[in-house]
Amino acid sequence: MATIIDGKAVAAKLNQETAKLVAELAAKGKKTTLAVVLVGEDPASQVYVRNKIRTCGEVGIISREVRMSKESTTEEVLEVVNALNNDPDVDGILVQSPPPPQVDEEKVIEAIHPDKDVDCFAERNVGRLLIGQKAGFRPCTPWGVIELLKHYGVDPAGKHAVVIGRSNIVGKPMAALLMQKGATANATVTVVHSRTPDITRYTRDADILIAAIGKANFVRGEMVKPGAVVIDVGINRIFDEKLGKNRLTGDVDFEECVEVASMITPVPGGVGPMTIAVLMQNAYIASKQRFEA
């Protein structure tokens, strides 16, 4: 049986550290404010936004929730983003993804001022991440994964890390972080995705397997190398026949993989809380940089 990685506990520890830093900055007269924009009524996005706002409260960050109708146009979202860009009280801006289909997400991301881009989605910040600059914003979910590995004493150096999925939010920045020169990286990285034939051929060789493909229970026990560290980034809603209602599940078949892996993250309570903890760190970084500018 694998050790079950407790993302909630690690996130709580990081949030405590961030709360202390936020309070120190507030004592110098600089409060920290995060704007969270939710366009539409996607149920999963509503839950994420609620959790982000709740965590802001816990670490002493002022949250500004902006809710926009599901009929909003790209122009309307851009107007809101521009107003937040120009608002001196706002340190960080996050537009929850995905917006409704009529909204051009790329344009929205481009519109967020790079100094307020706490998701680390904007060109400048993605570029800096790839170059390997230490300062600046951290991609929330991938950095959260690195922190989990660090807390559980898993050193990726020289290991084969396989990332399933190539999204801009997780797969690409995850691969970039793992291959980086540095104390918590130095892995050999393979990225597989929906067009990779025989994914198992790669996953079976992974010392660290990171699933971010958005398919419920995609990673089966026989796809995992015995003793591997399995990180499940997926959050999928499925109908549970036994329970007779919907429940959350990851991209990993937990029941099967827990028997094969040496460590594994659960869903919920694994990577999810870590994403929010890193978002809080980024809001603090934004606030501090604005204060010192």
* Candidates 52, 159, 172, 288; catalytic one: 52
- The answer to whether the beta carbons of residues 267 and 246 sit under 8 Å apart is no
Asked if 61 and 23 count as a contact pair (C-beta separation under 8 A), the reply is no
User: 218 vs 47, 194, 199, CA distance in Å?
Assistant: 23, 11, 11
Closer to ligand GUN at the Cβ: 35 or 258? 35
Instruction: Give the nearer residue to ligand GUN in terms of CB position, either 34 or 95.
Output: 95
Cα-Cα-Cα-Cα dihedral sign, residues 16, 19, 21, 27: negative
Catalytic residue among 119, 232, 251, 253: 119
Segment interacting with ligand GUN (CB under 6 A) among 89-97, 196-204, 208-216, 261-269: 89-97
Residue number with CB closer to ligand GUN (97 or 236): 97
20 vs 237 by CB, closer to ligand GUN: 237
DSSP, collapsed to helix, strand or coil, labels residue 39 as strand
- The CB density around residue 14, as the number of other CB atoms within 10 Å, is 20
Restricting to residues 95-134, which ones interact with ligand GUN according to CB under 6 A? Answer: 95-97, 119
What is the rounded distance in angstroms from the CA atom of residue 121 to the CA atom of residue 140? 10
Comparing every residue's Cβ against ligand GUN, the nearest one is 97
Q: Is 119 a catalytic residue?
A: yes
Whether 52 is a known active-site residue: answer yes
Nearer to ligand GUN, 2 or 170 (CB): 170
155 is catalytic: no
Q: What is the 3-state secondary structure (H, E, C) of 263-282?
A: EECCCCCCHHHHHHHHHHHH
Q: Please tell me the distance from the alpha carbon of residue 20 to that of residue 184, in angstroms, as a whole number.
A: 24
Q: Does 275 bind ligand GUN (CB under 6 A)?
A: yes
Give the type of residue at 213: I
Nearest distance from C-beta of residue 141 to ligand GUN, angstroms:
6
User: Minimum Å distance from CB 96 to ligand GUN?
Assistant: 5
Q: How far apart are CA 204 and CA 53, in angstroms?
A: 39
Edge-to-edge strand order for the sheet containing 92-95?
Answer: 62-68, 33-39, 92-95
Q: Applying CB under 6 A, which of residues 94, 212, 229, 261 lies at the interface with ligand GUN?
A: 94
Contact positions with ligand GUN (CB under 6 A) in 169-228: 169
Minimum CB–partner distance for residue 279 and ligand GUN (Å): 7
Q: Which of 140, 175, 192, 274 binds ligand GUN (CB under 6 A)?
A: 140
CB of 57 to ligand GUN, least distance (A): 18
- Pick the closer one to ligand GUN by CB: 46 or 262: 46
Helix axes 140-151, 271-292, angle to 10 degrees: 110
Which region, judged by CB under 6 A, interacts with ligand GUN, from 14-22, 91-99, 173-181, 280-288? 91-99
Q: How far is CA 28 from CA 82, 288, 291, in A?
A: 28, 11, 10
Contacting residues toward ligand GUN, per CB under 6 A = 94-97, 119, 140-141, 169, 275
Active centre residues (catalytic): 52, 96, 119
